[in-house]
Amino acid sequence: MTTETIPQAPAPVQSRGNRKQARRNTLIGWTFILPNFIGFLAFTLIPVLAAFALSFMEWTSFSAPKWVGLANFQRMLASDSFWIALRNTVVYAVGHVPLTMALALLLAMLLNRKLKGIGFFRVAIFFPYITSLVAVAVVWNMLFSPDNGPINQLLHSIGIADAPGWTSSSDWALPAVIITSVWKDMGYYMVLYLAGLQAIPTELYEAAEVDGASAWQRFWNVTIPSLRPTTFFVVVMLTVSSFKVFDLIVVMTNGGPGRSTTVLSQLIYQEGIGEGKFGYSSAISLVLFLIVLTVTVLQFKIQQRRER
């Protein structure tokens, strides 16, 4: 800034001053991000890079890592547990993402009105999201109890004789987990949709109404396109969180019965932290990373094409 007030200054000096200023700015910039960056470096980036390298090694954490090439990946591809966990992860994502999205949108539309006490309902829907996950899992486990749980009692009372065994049945355990996670997450995404809905100018609806559009047509041709940026964000966040689901499953079923709800992130934990096979578990985490990366890049690409 000071250099600009001296217009007669010779060009080289000015550029030197600018450079000095630029360096100063860079330095200030660095000091701002440094505290966070150090944490990111030490606890995320370096371990992540180490995990990349470890996936080609055998390491029990006591001795020095040993290079084994692709042996970890070969073992993984030959392992039942890996394929079962991969299938469970995908099933969970396929159930969790669309259900949460649809319910969040539905709730957002219901609650996007000026009614008395609407604040209460919005809070009520958001509440599960801020409730402790362990508490949620334990309570839902009780609700799902096969014999005397309220859910099955309800099913019995409406005439369903052989109600599912939920968390004690390998066919129904994953759906039970999905239901719980949808219930817990939908409040958060509802808030995102609510914000999106309120940003849609009412003129669009009025114009559509004047043109004779029905409620359904207004929803399909005004609401949905206007919500596209929100939807994109919701889909990406939901997909990523679905692929790395861990805590809810550990508390609710711990992967059981048998391996029917074991997901990839849990397998990584079991093999690595549980059994000390850090190389092998890094290999699995590399695969999980590639899956999440592919899906996310794909979503970004689709979004770009739509925007064009």
Partner 1 sequence: MKRRTFAALALAVTTSLGLSACSGAAGGPAEPQGQNGKTVLTVSVWNYEGTPEFKALFDAYEAANPNVDIQPVDILADDYPQKVTTMLAGGDKTDVLTMKNVIDYSRYANNGQLQEIGDVVNSVGKDKLATLDAFDINGKYFAAPYRQDFWLLYYNKDLFKAAGVDDPKNLTWEEYAALAKKLTTEANGKKVYGTYQHIWRSVVQAISAAQNGKDQNSGDYSYFQDQYNTALDLQKSGATLDYGTAKSQKTSYRTMFETGQAAMMPMGTWYIAGVLQAKKDGKTNVNWGLAPMPQKNDDGKVNTFGSPTAFAVNKNASHSDEAKKFITWAAGEEGAKAISKIGVVPAFQSDAVKDAYFKLDGMPTDDLSKKAFTPDQTALEMPVSDKSAATDKVLNQEHDLIMVGEKSVTDGIAEMGKRVKSEVLGQ
Q: Is 231 in the site for partner 1 (CB under 8 A)?
A: no
Of 142, 160, 195, 224, which lies in the binding site for partner 1, with binding defined by CB under 8 A? 142
57: phi then psi, degrees, rounded to nearest 5 = -130, 170
Q: How far apart are CA 86 and CA 290, in angstroms?
A: 13
2, 62, 202, 203: which one binds partner 1 (CB under 8 A): 62
**Sequence-separated (6 or more) residues with CB below 8 Å from residue 45:** none
Q: Which residues contact 100 (CB under 8 A, 6 or more apart)?
A: 181, 182, 185, 186, 189, 238
Cross-strand partners of 58:
66
Shortest reach from residue 112's CB to partner 1, in Å: 28
Nearer to partner 1, 19 or 156 (CB): 156
Q: Are residues 126 and 191 in contact, defined by beta-carbon separation less than 8 angstroms?
A: yes
CB 225 → partner 1: shortest distance, Å? 20
**In this complex, which beta carbon is closest to partner 1, that of residue 200 or of residue 291?**
291
3-state secondary structure of 77: helix
Neighbours of 308 (CB within 10 A): 4
Q: Applying CB under 8 A, which of residues 79, 128, 219, 221 lies at the interface with partner 1?
A: 79
Residues between 2 and 41 that touch partner 1 (CB under 8 A): none
Q: Of the two residues 84 and 105, which places its CB atom closer to partner 1 in the complex? A: 84
Q: Is 53 in the site for partner 1 (CB under 8 A)?
A: no
Under the criterion CB under 8 A, does residue 138 sit at the interface with partner 1? yes
- Cα gap 209→3, rounded to integer Å: 59
Residue 147 interacts with partner 1 (CB under 8 A)? Answer: yes
- Residue 128 near partner 1 by CB under 8 A: no
Closest by alpha carbon to 266, among 77, 61, 85, 49? Answer: 85
| Pairwise CA distance, residues 98 & 107, whole Å | 14
Residues of this chain that interact with partner 1 (CB under 8 A) are 42-44, 47-48, 50-51, 60-63, 79-81, 138, 141-142, 144-149, 165-170, 236, 240-241, 243-244, 246, 255-259, 265, 268-270, 272-276, 278, 281-282, 284-286, 288-289, 291-293, 296-297, 299-300, 304
